[in-house]
């Protein structure tokens, strides 16, 4: 018996100024299957998904959905046809309730034309229960929900639209391991109900677990579509990069710190928002210090405090043994500190500006003489780092919003490398980028350490931390829970520091202090 095909993609081509994003792509998606789409950044995955969901229109070829040819002119057209897309950057209205988000632009009305909140909340609860998340209240404000709960709300919205095909773009990229397990079970449940899932992810082990069929794209072209059982992770990578892939080499880790002096020391750091509590550590030249812990542990806030982006309540920062005051980001940059933030599009990029402008924004500010920029020198340096980091872009004047996630990330890395930092903070630097770009970032980290640059690598991916960090610092609820040398670290030991029953001396001291203050007030 043949496959029940829900969607046919035939010779689809899409051009943008200076580039062909898709070139004659053809493959089929079956009803009730999890169909994974993999490829390096810039392979054409997002462009294809945007065509299927009505964001773009294809230039050539045809798309057929449930036996009808489709040429959607809007996302609303696609939703009405039965296709919903859940983007990596979720598009929920934070100030509205869960139910209002699920039924936005189609809220049920009473006979008097008013919003029927009772029916809307009941219907929302029905869809949440269908996904096994009845603990979520339809009346909850979205801003109070975790990222995983927001993902589930987006899925509920798609189910409420009677979507027969749901496109998921990196749905687990910001989730903890427990949240990933729950979401994958929800996806498997949708498959059992006959919903087709187009699943985009750079996590190949995840794809091997849940996908029925895998399609590989490379440089805008269809390379192969095969049952998941016929493709190993290594074969997928080889198809993605177009060659036998060697993977990342293991770093030579620092074992003895006896003759080293720290370039950066932090003592008893507290932030004004209460997310960083009594954190102390040293960072040495040529070292990669891994910073990990559960989402919400205060990891990013530590880096942002030191960089001058967040307000410090108390604590001391020493630079090469001398106390310094970092009031803002400019103070940190002048010392020689750089920060690659986690939120690439929100915190790291100027989306309306060009690749060159995004690369050069720090360099030009630091090197302008009497406020005057050397335009030719800037262009030469931007070109040098574009070539050095292999940033794929038609020209340096291309808007950075047109680049893939991996190439956007490399442009941010270039921004700091050209300023010769002494310390570089990297907050989830490989978040949402493909395995090829990841290994390029890993090589950059290794090269920086070889040159004597100190790196703090914040990552939620344990294999990444274990393969790159000389030492690993684990945080939990704002506190530094533990610190391990690479040789003594493994995933189980790292995770043991995130258990609720594990309590540090700093946490006990803070609890006793809080109890004493409470007793005084009483």
Instruction: Output the CA–CA distances (angstroms, integers) from residue 303 to 328, 372, 390, 446, in the order listed.
Output: 13, 31, 28, 20
Section 270-276 average pLDDT: 93
> Residue 405: which residues within 8 A CB-CB, separation 6 or more?
41, 344, 432, 433
Strands 68-70 and 60-65: antiparallel
Quote the CA–CA distance of 347 and 373 in Å, as a whole number.
Answer: 24
This prediction's pTM: 0.66
How would you write 364-376 as a 3-class SS string? HHHHCECCECCHH
Q: In order of start, what are the domains of the chain with their CATH numbers?
A: 1-82+163-245 (3.40.50.300), 92-161 (no CATH), 260-336+421-522 (3.40.50.300), 347-419 (no CATH)
> Mind listing the pLDDT tens digit for each residue in 158-214?
888 889 999 988 888 767 677 788 888 889 999 999 999 999 988 888 899 999 999
- Strand order of the β-sheet with 83-86 is 83-86, 165-169, 196-200, 34-38, 213-218, 221-227
* Distance, CA of 117 to chain centre: 35
- DSSP H helices, 389-504, are 405-417, 435-450, 462-468, 491-496
CB–CB of 475/302 below 8 Å? Answer: yes
| DSSP result, 114-126 | SB-HHHHHHHHHH
pLDDT exceeds 90 at position 455: yes
The answer, yes or no, to whether residue 139 has pLDDT greater than 90, is yes
User: Residue 33's pLDDT is what?
Assistant: 96
> According to the model, what pLDDT value does residue 250 have?
65
Length in residues, the chain = 522
- Contact between 475 and 299 under an 8 Å Cβ cutoff? The reply is yes
Counts for the chain of helices (H) and strands (E), in that order:
17, 20
Residue 26 has pLDDT above 60, yes or no: yes
**So what's the pLDDT on residue 172?**
81
pLDDT tens across 360-387, in order?
988 888 776 666 667 788 888 999 999 8
pLDDT at 514: 63
Using one digit for the tens of pLDDT, what is the confidence trace for 231-271? 998 888 888 877 655 555 567 899 999 889 999 999 999 99
502: confidence class by pLDDT, cuts 50, 70, 90: low
């Amino acid at each position: 018996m043949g496959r029940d095909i829900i969607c046919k993609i035939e010779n689809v081509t899409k051009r943008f100024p200076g580039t062909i994003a898709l070139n004659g792509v053809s493959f089929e998606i079956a009803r009730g299957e999890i169909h994974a789409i993999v490829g390096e950044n810039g392979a054409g995955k997002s462009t294809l998904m945007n065509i299927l969901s009505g964001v773009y229109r294809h230039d050539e070829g045809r798309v057929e959905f449930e036996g009808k040819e489709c040429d959607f002119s809007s996302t609303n057209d696609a939703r009405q046809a039965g296709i919903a897309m859940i983007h990596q950057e979720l598009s929920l209205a934070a100030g509205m309730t869960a139910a209002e988000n699920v039924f936005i632009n189609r809220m049920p009305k009473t006979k008097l034309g008013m919003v029927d909140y009772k029916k809307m909340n009941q219907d929302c609860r029905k869809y949440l229960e269908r996904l096994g998340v009845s603990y979520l209240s339809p009346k909850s404000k979205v801003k109070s929900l975790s990222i995983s709960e927001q993902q589930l709300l987006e899925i509920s919205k798609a189910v409420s639209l009677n979507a027969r095909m749901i496109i998921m773009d990196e749905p687990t990229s910001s989730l903890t391991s427990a949240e990933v397990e729950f979401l994958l079970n929800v996806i498997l449940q949708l498959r059992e109900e006959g919903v087709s899932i187009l699943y985009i992810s750079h996590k190949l082990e995840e794809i091997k677990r849940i996908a029925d069929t895998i399609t590989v794209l490379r440089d805008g072209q269809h390379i192969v579509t095969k049952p998941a059982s016929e493709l190993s992770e290594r074969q997928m990578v080889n198809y993605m990069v177009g060659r036998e892939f060697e993977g990342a080499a293991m770093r030579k880790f620092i074992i003895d710190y006896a003759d080293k002096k720290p370039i950066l020391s932090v003592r008893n750091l507290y932030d004004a928002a209460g997310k960083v509590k009594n954190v102390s550590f040293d960072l040495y030249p040529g070292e990669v210090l891994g910073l990990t812990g559960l989402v919400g542990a205060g990891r990013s806030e530590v880096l942002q405090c030191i960089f001058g982006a967040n307000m410090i309540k108390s604590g001391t920062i020493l630079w090469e043994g001398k106390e310094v005051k970092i009031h803002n980001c400019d103070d940190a940059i002048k010392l020689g500190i750089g920060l690659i933030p986690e939120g690439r599009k929100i915190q790291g990029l100027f989306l309306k500006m060009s690749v060159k402008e995004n690369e050069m924004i720090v360099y030009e500010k630091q090197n302008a003489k009497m406020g005057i920029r050397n335009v030719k020198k800037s262009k030469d340096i931007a070109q040098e780092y574009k070539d050095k980091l292999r940033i794929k872009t038609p020209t340096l004047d291309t808007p950075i919003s047109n680049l893939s996630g991996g190439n956007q990330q490399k442009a941010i890395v270039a921004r700091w490398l050209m300023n010769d930092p002494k310390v570089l903070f990297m907050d989830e630097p490989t978040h949402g980028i493909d395995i090829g770009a990841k290994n390029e970032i890993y090589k950059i980290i290794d090269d920086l350490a070889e040159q004597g640059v100190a790196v703090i690598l914040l990552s939620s991916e344990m294999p990444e931390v274990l393969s790159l960090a000389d030492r690993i610092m684990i945080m939990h609820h704002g506190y530094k829970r533990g610190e391990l040398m690479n040789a003594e670290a493994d995933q189980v030991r790292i995770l043991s520091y995130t258990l609720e029953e594990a309590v540090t001396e700093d946490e006990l001291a803070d609890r006793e202090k809080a109890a004493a203050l409470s007793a005084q007030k009483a």
